[in-house]
A and B are shown apart, each in its own frame.
Chain A
């Protein structure tokens, strides 16, 4: 199975900051990498697919990059409503494994 390692496990940032979350795959997955946002009590919500494609309806302050084994989710101009846990997921091969999550809080 492909292992997905996210960092950091948690972070705290201020409104307006630029935030970066990283995800590393245990082997090359080209760009078969998705990012999800999960707010407390809610189901996960797709943000980014195929490493850098923004899902329809997602604010443009969210962006994704990377290829191979190293990927990044960037939130520019952090907003209070971005408080959530963020997960990466590889869809290169089954089982489609997830990272352990990054909990984002506002300072």
Chain B
């Protein structure tokens, strides 16, 4: 069974940093693209970032580029999101998700339950 479990969320002041982790199990981690998606307090979904299987290719939303870094440790089957220079508008639940990239089609086949990030003074 595929499992994705996020951790590392919390309350942080504006300008601060947090590192989210996503522990993956039940599949060959290095064979899948992985994504971070955030869900805003108003419940909308916003795509944040993605990384390929070996970590050599990453993409970011403009709103987080230069502040957030996605990475993965294939030996530990763990995905990361390093978030720096946090702003109030980064407040959200952050989900990691698995993407099989089937025949060139990207879709989010499995999601973690999410980690709450609150940026407030």
Contact = CB atoms under 8 A, between A and B. Distances in A.
Given A49-B102, A94-B59, A44 B109 contact: no
Interface of B: 35, 43-47, 50, 59, 61-62, 95, 102, 105-114
Contacts of A94: 47, 50, 59, 61
A97 B47 contact: yes
Interface in A86-107: 87, 89, 91, 94-98, 100-101
Nearest to A31: B105
B65 to A, nearest CB: 10
Determine the main DSSP class of A at the interface with B: loop
A32 B105 contact: yes
A50 interface: yes
A22 interface: no
Interface of A: 1, 32, 34, 36, 42-46, 49-50, 55, 85, 87, 89, 91, 94-98, 100-101
Could you say which of A1, A95, A98 has the most chain B C-beta atoms within 10 Å of its C-beta?
A95
A101 B61 CA distance: 20
Given A32-B105, A36-B45, A50-B105, 16 more contacts: A32-B106, A34-B107, A42-B113, A43-B95, A44-B45, A46-B108, A46-B109, A49-B109, A50-B102, A87-B45, A95-B47, A95-B61, A96-B35, A97-B47, A98-B46, A101-B45
